[in-house]
């Protein structure tokens, strides 16, 4: 296949049809004024409809041998930093991507990424769209420097909000529609996190660690303080002996104070505002579910793995259901990595590319599967990044 625009599955455009550049041209290239409001979903859809390109059906039918393929990993919230994307503006399509994002979001996302302030960028309602767009911009960079890597991609996975970027890349979601859904998701999760003092605790435990028992005792501690129906549960499975526990702040403080009792080697509070991927996020479920009902979702053109069960998405309804469920379900990233890299003994591992800010997924992959990690590359968002070499 020659070039990004000829293969609609690579980015998907506004409605999973056509390329991003074509979508940007339909939107126009003028910057909106400071008083402009965020575009409504109906406006986005009306501006984005076009016929599917002739090559789409052929691209959907194409299948590649896993040994010849590549894997793309898309990071999630927490990987953002002020200054990201400075090195991506030189690549074709990236500026158009950010112009389109400004129309969808109603604010200048590129300026926020480049200049901050950090406190604003780190807010859930901002950092989720920021990481989503930056990751797909990094794919543009990869496609420009090494188009064969993008052409040979057979599987993708995204961490939390990164799953939306993976699905856009796979042609299941359109860029503008997915970004609108991420906006709704992020704002709803921000509001939910402000209802109850809560957070997330990163834990590295010894082999003897019993996370469920520790969480149970932390919930009992909260009940003794008068907290009704407290939450404390594993919200992220990262790699062997590493978990993220989320819930009421009092529960997390209890676990830190009793770390030795539960065989926790290290604990660290994460710089997030709420207990994501727990039932404390239930207020965010309905807003996301409603917007996903109004979005066209197609079957992915390559394997995309769900955070909810670590398995491949099978069809559009499956995607719609699990993206909603993901908000209140633990991220099974360790299990997902096992699914992605499971292969017969002696089979070579594919080259893996983490696309977007930070290299946390690479560090996790090293702990999950050292042999797979040896074929890992990072496509960063910094201006001094050199082309990755295969």
- Which residues are part of the catalytic machinery? 160, 277
117: cis peptide before it, omega within 30°? yes
Question: What is the rounded CA–CA span in Å between residue 165 and residue 179?
Answer: 9
Q: Please, are residues 346 and 353 in contact by the beta-carbon 8 Å criterion?
A: no
Residue 263: Cβ-neighbour burial (10 angstroms; 0-12, 13-18, 19+): middle
Is residue 107 classed as helix, strand or coil in its secondary structure?
coil
**Pairing relation of β-strands 232-239 and 242-248?**
antiparallel
Q: Return the half-sphere exposure (C-beta side, CA atoms, 13 A cut-off) of residue 277.
A: 27
- Structure tokens that stand for 379 in this block: 């496509």
Calculate ∠ Cα 177-123-40, nearest 5°. 25
Q: Nearest Cα to 377, choosing from 351, 347, 358, 357?
A: 351
Sign of torsion over alpha carbons 34, 86, 375, 61 = positive
Strand order in the sheet with 303-305: 303-305, 153-158, 70-74, 351-355, 376-379
Q: Which residues share a beta bridge with 237?
A: 243, 332
Dihedrals phi, psi of 287, to nearest 5 degrees: -60, -40
């Amino acid at each position: 296949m020659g070039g990004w625009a000829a293969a609609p599955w690579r980015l998907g455009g506004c409605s999973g049809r056509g390329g991003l550049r074509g979508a940007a041209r339909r939107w126009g290239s003028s910057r909106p004024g400071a008083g402009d409001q965020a575009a409504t979903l109906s406006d986005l859809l009306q501006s984005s409809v076009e016929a599917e390109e002739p090559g789409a059906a052929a691209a959907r039918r194409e299948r590649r041998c896993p040994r010849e393929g590549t894997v793309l990993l898309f990071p999630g919230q927490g990987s953002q930093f002020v200054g990201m994307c400075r090195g991506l503006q030189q690549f074709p399509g990236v500026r158009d991507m950010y112009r389109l994002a400004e129309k969808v979001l109603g604010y200048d996302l590129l300026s926020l990424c480049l200049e901050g302030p950090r406190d604003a960028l780190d807010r859930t309602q901002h950092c989720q769209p920021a990481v989503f767009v930056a990751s797909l911009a990094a794919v543009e960079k990869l496609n420009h420097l090494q188009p064969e890597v993008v052409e040979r991609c057979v599987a993708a996975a995204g961490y939390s909000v990164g799953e939306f970027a993976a699905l856009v890349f796979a042609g299941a979601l359109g860029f503008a529609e997915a970004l609108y859904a991420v906006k709704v998701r992020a704002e709803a999760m921000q509001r939910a996190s402000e209802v109850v003092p809560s957070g997330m605790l990163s834990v590295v435990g010894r082999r003897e660690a019993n996370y469920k028992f520790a969480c149970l005792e932390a919930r009992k501690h909260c009940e003794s303080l008068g907290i009704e129906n407290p939450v404390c549960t594993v919200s992220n499975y990262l790699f062997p002996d590493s978990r993220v526990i989320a819930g009421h702040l009092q529960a997390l403080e209890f676990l830190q104070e009793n770390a030795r009792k539960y065989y926790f080697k290290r604990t660290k509070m994460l710089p997030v505002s709420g207990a994501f991927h727990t039932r404390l996020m239930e207020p965010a479920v309905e807003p996301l579910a409603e917007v996903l009902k109004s979005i066209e979702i197609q079957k992915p053109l390559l394997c995309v793995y769900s955070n909810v069960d670590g398995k491949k998405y099978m069809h559009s309804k499956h995607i719609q259901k699990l993206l909603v469920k993901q908000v209140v379900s633990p991220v099974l990233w360790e299990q997902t990595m096992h699914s992605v890299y499971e292969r017969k003994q002696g089979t070579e591992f594919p080259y893996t590319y983490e696309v977007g800010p930070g290299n946390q997924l690479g560090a996790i992959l090293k702990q999950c599967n050292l042999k797979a990690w040896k074929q890992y590359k990072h496509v960063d968002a910094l201006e001094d990044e050199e082309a990755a070499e295969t």
